[in-house]
Amino acid sequence: MEELKQEIKKQIVESLNLDMTPEEIDSREPLFGDTGLGLDSVDALELIVIMEKFYGIKLTDPNQSKGILQSVDTMAEYIAANRTK
Amino acid sequence: MSRIVSYHSITAEDGNLIALYRSLGINYPKFFKMDRMSKAGFLAAEAVLGQAGLRNEEPKDDVSIVLVNSTASTVDDIEFQKTIGDQEYFPSPSLFVYTLPNVVCGEIAIRNRILGETSFYVQERFDAAFLVRAVRWAFADRSIGKVLCGWTECLAGDRVCRMMLVERDGSGGTGFTEETINEIFKR
Amino acid sequence: MVAIAGHNIYTGLGFGSRAVYDRVRAGSSGLALREGTFGVPEPFVASLFDRSAIRERFGDRDGAGTMTPLEMAMVLSAEDAVRMAGIDASSEDTIFVISTTKGNVELLENAPDGGDPRLALWHSARTVASRFGNPNEPVCVSNACTSGICAQIVAKRAIEEEGYTHAVVIGADMLSRFVVSGFQCLKALSGKRCRPFDRERDGLNLSEGVATLVLTSTGTGIGVELEDGCIRNDANHISAPSRTAAGQTAAIRAVMDEGRAAGLAFINLHGTATLYNDSMESVALHQCGLDGVPAVSYKSIFGHTLGAAGVIETVISCLALKERVVFPTPGYRECGVPYPLSLSEDFRPAAGDRFLKIMSGFGGINAATLYRRTGDE
């Protein structure tokens, strides 16, 4: 699971062009909103592309996506249970 | 007569843009999401507005932005096209939002709270005479007192970002004419 | 005064302003579900050109070998508008102003390194203007979806500030895998015919279109003048509109005053049917005290024609103003925006001699243009 979380952090930093190292992201940290990483709506859409591109998971329900993309922890949990790649 | 209050020029190669950002000690994380053209425009605007004492987050409803280039957003279009191949089809939202050149104006406006007009034009080459006309059009809006204007090309030919702050009927500075523009940018 | 002297609309519905107007007046729409078009995985709703029909109409005259269907359509549209206006498009007193968001971007598929010269918007603009023998370098406006009215504003300024007598404003955009994929990955498209301002709205419909307006400083033209225009940035986000509608409110306030508001027959909204755009517009109108004015979005009739939208929708609005009707907004049944607006699924009589047109686009840009009837022609 730790390896998967590291992988996710690396993809987030690269795909979203964040000015930090993957290690600087706290797995529990909220990705969206005023606290935490402060990602925006376009970043959320890019995360949805990451889910499909690397893990074969298609997220189509915006409400469901919100919960899944809350943090690296929630992403890893969902990916581990649903990945097809 | 309109007058050039400040100006700056930077080359728009990737490597030196990030190094330049760091050397200026700016804290603006969104910079790293920007495409090459927005990074260059952003940094040139930092210098030009900084010199004029306007580099801050105070709302500026009397300032407009007029930018010109030759290839529009083709530098970004090429990257987005790579994400919609036949074999690998994963269109990238963060790339797509930069496939319109006027987004550079938007990034500069957001950073500096510029609330006037923003306009982007596409011309074959850097043409001081056209810039003079485009700024004159911007000043046709009587509530505008200053125009941040210039050329932001980063793909083909004249790969450089040249920016100026022009004031309506100012005193001091240099007269905003085709001749002075070519002179200060050594064209 | 800058008057409208000629116009043309060219879409999948037909060629010629009158032909297209009559068809949409009778309830037609070119919008249809496209499955597999451009090889994109999800079906989308759009009105599309028949490219071979464009080539056929253009014939084998000069340029047929190298011009793209988009450029041919622009020439055909401009020819029709110029003929209606009765102006000399080859004169140095005539300026061409072009509005297109992506031009020939589909050529990237065969030239992925960007090497095809026709990818350059200035190149297309020159290709088109030179067909008319015009000696001036055309002006190429790239202001996202507001380009169609920004181009009109530039044309008006060129006429008033620089002494041009006429301006030929051409708005044009076609769809491609590039454009459709882009909007799909932003989840901005509806899978059905769009429903501007409605509670159930879930995105926009893209469409293809080309249109021309000829503006003039001589005479009253068709009896409608471009009275004023303003462009303002939200300075908030590069792809989402400001929740407070800062830019749109400022643009509207700049062109409206009490006298003008009293004479408003209708407001032509951008109304793309995305969640945020329509909400923002209702906030803008409310803040300007204009939420009671009859309003219309043409996006559920024409779809969003991008760079052509500002021109197509202005022409339709001019004809509607002269006919003294307010067009319906098909698909609008229940208000789904913070401030209710006066929209309808039926045609309504229009009282007033002006219409206001507002648009917004990526990059935080907002624009407003005001038009006035000048006579009973």
C354-364 confidence digits (pLDDT tens):
999 999 999 99
- DSSP state for residue C214 in the 8-state scheme: E
Q: Can you tell me the mean pLDDT for B108-112? A: 98
Contacts of A45 in chain B (CB under 8 A): 93-94
Q: Do C233 and B140 touch (CB under 8 A)?
A: no
Taking a C-beta distance cutoff of 8 angstroms, is the pair B41, B151 a contact?
no
Residue spans in chain C of domains classed CATH 3.40.47.10: 3-216, 224-373
User: What is the predicted pLDDT for the residue at B12?
Assistant: 65
Taking a C-beta distance cutoff of 8 angstroms, is the pair B53, B167 a contact?
no
Q: Do B141 and C108 touch (CB under 8 A)?
A: no
For chain B, give every domain's residue range.
3-186
Q: Which residue of C has its CA nearest to A50?
A: C185
CA-based R_g, chain B, Å = 16
Residue A63 parent element (H or E)? helix A62-68
| Residues in CB range of B23: below 8 A, 6 or more apart | none
The verdict on B50 touching C (C-beta cutoff 8 Å) is no
Measured torsion, CA atoms of residues C247, B62, B184, B153, in degrees rounded to the nearest 10: 0
Q: Do A42 and C185 touch (CB under 8 A)?
A: no
User: What is the predicted pLDDT for the residue at A43?
Assistant: 94
Query: What's chain A's average pLDDT?
Result: 92
Longest dimension (CA), chain A: 33
Contacts of B59 in chain C (CB under 8 A): 235
Assign C377 a pLDDT band (cuts: 50, 70, 90).
low
Both structure tokens of C37: 């078009």
Nearest to A16 among B33, B91, B97 (CB): B33
Measured torsion, CA atoms of residues B130, B132, B137, B139, in degrees rounded to the nearest 10: 160
Q: Show the beta-strand stretches assigned E in C219-299.
A: 224-233, 264-268, 295-296
Nearest to C233 among B115, B140, B155 (CB): B115
The verdict on C219 touching B (C-beta cutoff 8 Å) is no
Helix locations, C256-363, DSSP H: 258-262, 275-287, 299-302, 309-323
CA-based R_g, chain C, Å = 19
pLDDT tens, residue by residue, C124-171: 999 999 999 999 999 999 999 999 999 999 999 999 999 999 999 999
Nearest-angstrom CA–CA distance, C1 and C226: 8
Residue B127 in this model has a pLDDT that exceeds 70: yes
> CA B5 from chain center: how many Å?
16
Q: Give ipTM to 2 decimals.
A: 0.97
Residue B8 in this model has a pLDDT that exceeds 60: yes
Q: Can you tell me the mean pLDDT for A36-65? A: 91
Nearest-angstrom CA–CA distance, A65 and A48: 8
Question: For the structural domain made of B3-186, what CATH number should be given?
Answer: 3.40.47.10
This prediction's pTM: 0.97
Q: Which residue of C has its CA nearest to A52?
A: C185
pLDDT tens, residue by residue, C293-324: 999 999 999 999 999 999 999 999 999 999 99
Residue B13 in this model has a pLDDT that exceeds 90: no
Contacts of A16 in chain B (CB under 8 A): 33, 94
User: What is the predicted pLDDT for the residue at B159?
Assistant: 87
The verdict on domain C224-373 having CATH code 3.40.1010.10 is no
| Torsion C150-C156-C162-C165 (CA) sign | positive
Fold of C3-216: Peroxisomal Thiolase; Chain A, domain 1 (3.40.47)
Which residue, among B54, B119, B155, would best test binding to C if mutated, counting the most C CBs under 10 Å from its CB?
Answer: B119
> CA C322 from chain center: how many Å?
19
